[in-house]
Chains A and B, each alone.
Chain A
Amino acid sequence: MTGANAMSGLPALPAVVAALALLAGPSQLAGQIDYRNLDDDRPTVIEDAYPVERYAFEILLPYRFEREPGGGVVHAAIPELAGGLLPNFQLGLKVPIAVERSGGVTTRGLSGLRVFALYNFNTESRVLPAVSLRFDLALPAGPLGGDVTRAAVKAITTRSWGRNRIHLNAAYSVGRAGVAAAAEPLSRWWAGAAVDRTLFRHSTLVVGEVYAAQAERGSRAEVVASVGVRRQVTPTTVLDLGIARGLRDGPSAAFTVGLSHAFAVAAIMPGGGR
């Protein structure tokens, strides 16, 4: 099955996108997104320490292709909605939908559910980097969602110099061993660093990362490198692109592209709904 054919077999995706669009609402919704807000997986696994702005909602519509060393392929669409519900705090939901082809067998459908929250303690100062904690809960839903519930805690720091920033992420998850989700699995632990550079005249961020991850206790850790770019294409929309490759195990090739859009809902804002 070719990539294009595989993607055509995603019956659930239009419904999810439509549902998220309904949540986003009609023309009263307008927003701005910052191409420098490095979200996890958009396009690198490593993220920055800053949440979405208070009262902002961010809808993300990414696609990811991954070729495994054994020849299997995974196509995934991972719609996500995140909201700045409190100052310096965001809550989000991911609904991964995937098509997996391995050993001549094709499986398609939901690949679990992910709920996450991030709290940013401080912006960067002369002494300290920006520091955040993030919590994820992965639930085994759908034919590609695996069979385990896992929770993870992640520490995130961001430090800048000039137009560059370095981001360090380290995460550990708990939950029993079992079959992991095909898309967006929560590894037992993962840690890595990313460096980005802002090209402010072009509203573009270029980013590169290296991270290590261990799927299960006792398994061999994979090491993956990736590079990507985020670019503001309208005042409220960011396009991202990225490629990745396993340096030790991990995917033999991966590609991702996505759009992010920010908006707000007047009815839940101060003075809103008048």
Chain B
Amino acid sequence: MPTTILRIGAVLLLAGAARPTVAPAQDQRGEQFYYPGSFNWEFLGRYPDAARLFNAFDYGHAVLYERLYTARDSAALSQALDREYQLLTTDLLVRPPRFAVAEETVAPGYAKLAWRAKLMFDWAHVLHRQIYDIHADERLSEALKDSLVERVTDYYLSKREAAFVTAPKSMHLMDEQYYSQTFRTRYRAFNGLIWAYHWLQVGLYEPLLAGRQEGERQDGVRATITRFWDMLRDPPTNMPGMMPMTVTVAPRFTQRHPRAAAIFDNLHMLHDIISDILASEKVGDKRQAIYAMLAEFQDASRNVMTPAEWREMGEMMGGVDAMGGAVPIRTGSDPITP
């Protein structure tokens, strides 16, 4: 028995010696569970057509980065993106997966290159989803919904290493880097598809907030999805010509939840920036460039806009018409607009 105890002790000693140190070039997994509550999965239950679209969006975002990162040359990249665009618009968006797509399986190369970027996007997407869930939950009062949204936003922010700041970052980070606009100028249709995703991701909050009862919310969500599909006709003619800003496309949501609105604008801006980094031949060390931008979007002390500048920026960029158009809302006997 003493021998047994000594051996067990040796194993435990080995456990102690195996200290959790990680080489600088290695990322830790760092995954964290979302905030619990009975509101979770309400959006999927009540608005399955809308919720499942986001699963196809997951694929679209992931496959774009994988193709940009792994393509041999520009001709191969163009062909690959054309194929993926067809797959997305004729199959995956039409018959989206029931549950979220494991993006590592779609973008294994990108996930190994920039795990922390993937983690930040995933974490912000969880916040997106939970806010839909809260506003889709018909059991909650409007006051409780507002309170819960702020609570899940606090929880989101508590994971500091994966959270975007709540101050809207300056647009020059997206438009004035040496690699800026590479992706959107070369691949207009795919970029328009991504911007149409982003329009829907923030636009769907508007019917959920504006509707006075579930019927109005259901009608509004349906109309918003219809508007999204309209954008995909004759690409890129009907697609957003500018990055849809939450402050402009979803003014009700921005007024009620300004922190979350800024987080989502920062998220969508970083999406575009990483597309440019991966697409540009001028960027040698992709990981370093991406990680420099992650640090930038976690720093609220520089390159931020005031709330007034944020709203003005939306107008300077052409307003809602340039960003995919206003979200069609029905309240009471008012017709759906526009």
Contacts and interface: CB of A to CB of B under 8 A. Distances in A.
**A and B associate in one complex:** yes
Contact of A201 (B20, B97, B159): B97
Q: What DSSP secondary structure best describes chain A's contact surface? A: loop
A207 to B, nearest CB: 14
Contact of B31 (A53, A124, A162): A53
Given A32-B34, A123-B115, A198-B105, A153 B97 contact: no
Interface residues of A, number: 64
Given A201-B97, A232-B99, A263-B36, A122 B22 contact: yes
B102 A50 contact: no
Contacts of A162: 105, 108
Interface in B1-58: 1, 3-4, 7-8, 10-12, 14-15, 18, 20-23, 25-38, 40-41, 44
Given A135-B15, A266-B36, A271-B155, A174 B8 contact: yes
Nearest to A152: B11
B38 A28 contact: yes
A126 B21 CA distance: 18
Interface residues of B, number: 52
Nearest to B26: A122
Contacts of B35: 264, 266, 269, 271-272
Contacts of A202: 97
A93 interface: no
Interface in A145-167: 148-153, 160-163
B104 A160 contact: yes
A5 B27 CA distance: 51
Contacts of B158: 270-271
B36 A174 contact: no
Interface string A111-154: 00000010111111111101001010100000000001111110
Interface string A24-47: 000111111010100000000000
B102 A36 contact: yes
A119 B18 contact: yes
A174 B112 contact: no
B282 interface: no
B40 A119 contact: no
A255 interface: no
Contacts of A101: none
Contact of A123 (B11, B23, B28, B102): B28
B29 A30 contact: no
A174 B10 contact: yes
Interface in A172-193: 174-176
A264 B36 contact: yes
A260 to B, nearest CB: 14
B33 A50 contact: no
A84 interface: yes
A102 interface: no
Given A54-B30, A133-B18, 4 more contacts: A127-B25, A149-B8, A175-B8, A271-B154
6 nearest A-B pairs in the assembled complex, by CB-CB distance: A174-B7, A270-B158, A56-B33, A122-B26, A151-B8, A264-B36
